A and B are shown apart, each in its own frame.
Chain A
Amino acid sequence: MEILSDRDKNIIKVLQEDFPLCEEPYKILAERVGISEEEFLRRVRELVDEKKIRKMGAVLRHREVGFKANALCAWNVSPDKLDDVAQTMSSNAAVSHCYDRTPAPNWNYNLYTMIHAKTRDECEKIIGELSQSTGVTDYKILYTKKEWKKTGMKYFCEQA
Chain B
Amino acid sequence: MTTLSTFDKALLNLLQSDIPICSHPFAEMANRLGTDENTVINRLRELKAAGYLRRIGTFFDSNRLGYRGTLIALKVEPSEINSVAEAVNRYPGATHNYEREGLYNLWFTLLTPDAECESNILAEIRALRGVEDMLKLKANKKYKINVQFKLQ
B52 to A112, Cβ gap below 8 A?
A: no
B88 to A52, Cβ gap below 8 A?
A: no
A54 to B145, Cβ gap below 8 A?
A: yes
Q: What is the count of residue pairs linking A and B with beta-carbon distances less than 8 angstroms?
A: 234
Q: Which of A44, A56, A96 lies in contact with B144, CB distance below 8 A?
A: A96
| Complex alpha-carbon distance, A150 and B96, angstroms | 4
Indicate the size class of the contact surface on chain B. Answer: 35 or more
Residues of A contacting B21 in the complex (Cβ-Cβ under 8 angstroms): 26, 41, 44-45, 48, 56
A18 to B101, Cβ gap below 8 A?
A: no
User: Helix, strand, loop or mixed for chain B's interface?
Assistant: mixed
A61 to B54, Cβ gap below 8 A?
A: yes
Q: Does B128 contact A (CB under 8 A)?
A: no
User: Helix, strand, loop or mixed for chain A's interface?
Assistant: mixed
B48 to A61, Cβ gap below 8 A?
A: no
Residues of A contacting B99 in the complex (Cβ-Cβ under 8 angstroms): 144-148
Residues of A contacting B45 in the complex (Cβ-Cβ under 8 angstroms): 21
Q: Does A5 contact B (CB under 8 A)?
A: no
Given known A-B contacts A144-B99, A151-B95, A57 and B18 have beta carbons under 8 A apart: yes
Contact flags A139-160 to B (C-beta < 8 A → 1, else 0): 0101111111111111111100
Given known A-B contacts A144-B99, A153-B93, A97 and B149 have beta carbons under 8 A apart: no
Given known A-B contacts A23-B27, A64-B1, A51 and B19 have beta carbons under 8 A apart: no
B151 to A65, Cβ gap below 8 A?
A: yes
Q: In the complex, how many residues of chain A place their beta carbon closer than 8 angstroms to a beta carbon of chain B?
A: 73
Contact flags B137-152 to A (C-beta < 8 A → 1, else 0): 1111111111111110
Residues of A contacting B111 in the complex (Cβ-Cβ under 8 angstroms): 153
A72 to B55, Cβ gap below 8 A?
A: no
| Complex alpha-carbon distance, A143 and B67, angstroms | 27
Contact flags A2-34 to B (C-beta < 8 A → 1, else 0): 001000000010011111011111110000000
| Complex alpha-carbon distance, A148 and B87, angstroms | 11
CB distance from A119 to the nearest CB of B (A): 15
Q: Does B17 contact A (CB under 8 A)?
A: yes
Q: Chain B: residues with CB nearer than 8 A to chain A?
A: 1, 4, 12, 15-27, 37, 41, 44-45, 48, 51-62, 64-67, 71, 73, 85-86, 88-89, 92-102, 104-108, 111, 113, 135-151
**Cross-chain pairs A/B with CB under 8 angstroms, 26 sampled:** A15-B58, A18-B57, A21-B26, A21-B48, A21-B56, A41-B21, A52-B64, A57-B16, A57-B18, A60-B16, A61-B52, A67-B149, A89-B143, A89-B144, A97-B147, A98-B142, A98-B143, A101-B140, A112-B137, A142-B100, A143-B100, A148-B88, A148-B98, A149-B89, A150-B95, A155-B62
